[in-house]
A and B are shown apart, each in its own frame.
Chain A
Amino acid sequence: MTILYVLTALTLIASLIADIEKTKKALKISVKKLLKILPAFVKMLILVSFILYFVPDEVIVKYLGESSGVYGLFAGLSFGSVTMMPGFIAFPLGGILLEKGVSYMNIAAFTTTLMLVGILTYPVEKEYLGRKITILRNVISFIIAVVITLIIGLIYGEVF
């Protein structure tokens, strides 16, 4: 995060030195774009806060930890698709699951759908890509997540 701010500050300074007027214009664009998308972000945040109440970490650990085989696979795919969490929470969670004896495949089902499928980011994505492309992209992403999961299962010898 610090790198992001250092980088932004340096770029901004370089831009100011090169052309003050252009920089002003850039910042106007930044503010305008941010304000325009803010309502969609608010919707997304409200969605996230409700979903995380109904599907907290403990529930994910419980279901993935207890259900094995195909059920665990489906649990992973579903939880990963409907929730949203940053990597610094998701992967420690994956570590806990691994210690509990959950298969790599079922963990992958969870983490890959978490990364690729964005049901909760729908309000934001739709504003940029439009409804049709957003839905298409998420369906394809889900399929890709399933393929990756199965390949991981095959390589770790967990399928069949």
Chain B
Amino acid sequence: MVLKKHSSTIIFTIFLGFILFSYLIKFEPGIIIKDNFTSFTIGMLKVLPAAFILIGLFEVWVKKETIERHFGEDSGFKGFFWAIILASTTVGGTYVAFPVAYSLYQKGAKYSIIFTYIGASALTRIPMTLFEISFLGIKFTVIRLLTSIPLVILSSIWMGRYVEKRNFYFRK
């Protein structure tokens, strides 16, 4: 149990040891891995503080009833629409969508809408979509969006039902 609690500290210490050792014996792969680690860490640190400040503000300012009305059990189809709009403005990657999805969940959003939000945030983020258009062409992007959005909504509705039936829960 103790080991589990400190697993990431242990992993990180081993990782640091590996990097230091790689530098000492000039082990090329270790140095490349360290460079990968720094560049990804910097990329993530650029996004996370702002994202979590917004999450904190969301938690205190947005009322539970508001989320329940727009994203809850009786929200109807509009809920999916707004979830996709919200998703398209998500920055970073899905790793930012998970904490946002979790906050939505705690405020009373239903599973199918949360899954739609997560799926859509992987598929419709605006800056990413613009890159896709410029390198692969607008036709490619339009086909991809038109096929993926309905699939994400349908599978999210199915997953929502499945999760409720099986009594799976998000982390408390």
Interface of A toward B, CB cutoff 8 Å: 1, 4-5, 7-8, 11-12, 15, 22-23, 25-31, 33-34, 37, 39-46, 48-50, 52-53, 84, 86-88, 90-92, 94-95, 98, 104, 107-108, 111-112, 115-116, 118, 121, 124-125, 127-130, 132-133, 136-137, 140-141, 143-144, 147-148, 151-152, 155
Contact = CB atoms under 8 A, between A and B. Distances in A.
Contacts of B122: 115-116, 118, 141
A128 B171 contact: yes
With most chain A CB atoms within 10 A of its CB, the pick from B51, B99, B101 is B99
Given A34-B48, A53-B32, A112-B148, A41 B57 contact: no
A90 B118 CA distance: 20
The binding surface of chain B is classed by DSSP as helix
B96 to A, nearest CB: 10
Contacts of B9: 39
Contact of B33 (A11, A50, A140, A147): A50
Given A30-B52, A128-B170, 6 more contacts: A11-B57, A111-B136, A112-B148, A116-B122, A125-B94, A129-B102
With most chain A CB atoms within 10 A of its CB, the pick from B135, B140, B144 is B135
Contacts of B33: 49-50, 53
Contacts of B119: 116, 141, 144
B76 interface: no
Contact of A30 (B55, B151, B162): B55
22 contacts: A4-B51, A7-B50, A8-B53, A12-B53, A26-B60, A34-B52, A45-B44, A48-B36, A53-B32, A86-B93, A87-B132, A111-B136, A112-B148, A115-B128, A121-B98, A128-B98, A128-B170, A129-B170, A130-B171, A137-B118, A144-B148, A148-B151
B17 interface: no
B95 A151 contact: no
Interface residues of B, number: 68
B41 A132 contact: no
Given A22-B61, A41-B95, A92-B135, A30 B102 contact: no
B159 interface: yes
Interface of B: 7-9, 11-12, 15, 29, 32-34, 36-37, 40-41, 43-44, 46-57, 59-61, 91, 93-95, 98-99, 101-102, 115, 118-119, 122-123, 125, 127-128, 131-132, 134-136, 140, 143-144, 147-148, 151-152, 155, 159, 162-163, 166, 168-171
Nearest to B28: A53
A29 B34 contact: no
A133 B163 contact: yes
A107 B136 contact: yes
A23 B15 CA distance: 37
